[in-house]
């Protein structure tokens, strides 16, 4: 993001406490225009608190959250003019039809594209003629998704947006996200569906107990995490002593297995000095990174206790 460009989203030391309970602690994070950023974390990590604070629905205990440079708590109406929001659980007005709810939300958003709404209704296979109370959870979530996307807002904020959608609709939703990104829209979404984040996000931020513990691009996260390398060789085993980042080396019957952290270049050069027949390197999936992080921190917490 260029220095002079106004961030679509900016958390500045944003803190939210519920009495003694920490909801969010000094979160500092920028989301640039056109980015898709995923907010990861287990239940209770502070994802929804972060999003509701961003939307001005919760008052920050300290710090601030900005949308296109506008303080979301002080000036929520102005901050929301370029924003559309998908909550994780959509509570409908029971007496209104799906179509009426879409029209209502489109109108209060400042307008929407009726043709695009109709297209989205078709793509999500949604029946807008039923009363709100008769929709299933998945169909209520479709209302939220369509209502947000049909506005073509520059910024889409989503709190576990595909919650309740079936796999087909989830795929359709992810297609819509990619189209929105291609159209230059910024997307900030929280999720604990890692495959979804992995499929669509440019950057990922990880929350734990209200704290931002990691963030960066997926490549950065993978780069700084441990890769698993397996190779077969003829003759003497490769000499990997002193190769930076290499550990857990296991050698047996012409096969070598190891973990490498950071750049793999020194390792590849060291392997090239031996008669290596084949080599396989596997990056961790986001799910593995996620589990690794939480397993490690949980273990650390247990040890400290």
Which of residues 119 and 283 has its CB atom nearest to other proteins in the complex?
Answer: 283
* Cβ-proximal residues to 82 (8 Å cutoff; 6+ apart), any chain: 67, 68, 153, 154, 155
Binding site for other proteins (CB under 8 A): 28-30, 52, 55-59, 76-78, 80-81, 83-85, 87, 89-97, 99-100, 103-105, 107-110, 127, 129-131, 133-134, 144, 147, 157, 212-216, 220-221, 224-226, 228, 259, 261-262, 284-285, 287-289, 291-293, 295-296
DSSP state of 237: P
Which of residues 108 and 272 has its CB atom nearest to other proteins in the complex?
Answer: 108
Contact criterion met (CB below 8 Å) for 110 and 81: yes
CB of 273 to other proteins, least distance (A): 25
CB of 206 to other proteins, least distance (A): 10
User: Computed over its alpha carbons, how large is the radius of gyration of the chain?
Assistant: 23
Tokens read off for 285: 């999936």
Which of residues 100 and 232 has its CB atom nearest to other proteins in the complex?
Answer: 100
Residue 100 buriedness (CB in 10 A; 0-12 / 13-18 / 19+): middle
Contact criterion met (CB below 8 Å) for 1 and 7: yes
CB of 11 to other proteins, least distance (A): 10
DSSP state of 152: T
Contact criterion met (CB below 8 Å) for 39 and 60: no
CB of 155 to other proteins, least distance (A): 11
CB of 232 to other proteins, least distance (A): 21
Which of residues 36 and 233 has its CB atom nearest to other proteins in the complex?
Answer: 36
Which of residues 153 and 271 has its CB atom nearest to other proteins in the complex?
Answer: 153
Tokens read off for 148: 């947000």
């Amino acid at each position: 993001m260029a220095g002079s460009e106004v961030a679509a989203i900016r958390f500045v030391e944003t803190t939210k406490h519920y009495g003694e309970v920490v909801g969010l602690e000094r979160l500092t994070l920028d989301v640039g225009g056109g980015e898709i950023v995923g907010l990861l974390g287990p239940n209770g990590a502070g994802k929804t608190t972060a999003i509701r604070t961003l939307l001005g629905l919760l008052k920050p205990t300290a710090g601030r959250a900005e949308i296109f440079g506008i303080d979301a708590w002080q000036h929520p109406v102005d901050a929301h003019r370029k924003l559309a929001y998908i909550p994780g659980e959509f509570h409908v007005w029971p007496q209104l039809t799906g179509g009426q709810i879409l029209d209502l939300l489109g109108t209060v958003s400042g307008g929407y594209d009726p043709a695009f709404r109709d297209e989205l209704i078709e793509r999500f296979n949604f029946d807008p003629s039923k009363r709100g109370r008769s929709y299933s959870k998945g169909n209520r979530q479709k209302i939220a998704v369509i209502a947000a996307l049909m506005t073509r807002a520059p910024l889409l904020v989503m709190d576990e947006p595909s919650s309740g959608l079936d796999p087909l609709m989830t795929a359709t939703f992810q297609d819509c996200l990619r189209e929105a990104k291609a159209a230059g829209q910024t997307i900030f979404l929280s999720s604990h569906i890692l495959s979804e984040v992995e499929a669509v996000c440019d950057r990922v931020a990880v929350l734990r107990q209200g704290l931002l513990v990691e963030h960066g691009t997926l490549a950065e996260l993978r780069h700084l995490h441990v890769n698993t390398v397996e190779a077969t060789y003829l003759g003497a085993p490769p000499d990997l002593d002193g190769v930076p980042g290499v550990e857990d080396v296991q050698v047996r019957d012409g096969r070598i297995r190891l973990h490498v952290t950071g750049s793999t270049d020194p390792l590849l050069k060291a392997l090239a000095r031996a008669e290596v027949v084949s080599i396989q390197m596997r990056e961790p999936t986001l799910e593995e990174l996620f589990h690794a992080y939480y397993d490690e921190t949980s273990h650390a917490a247990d040890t400290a206790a």
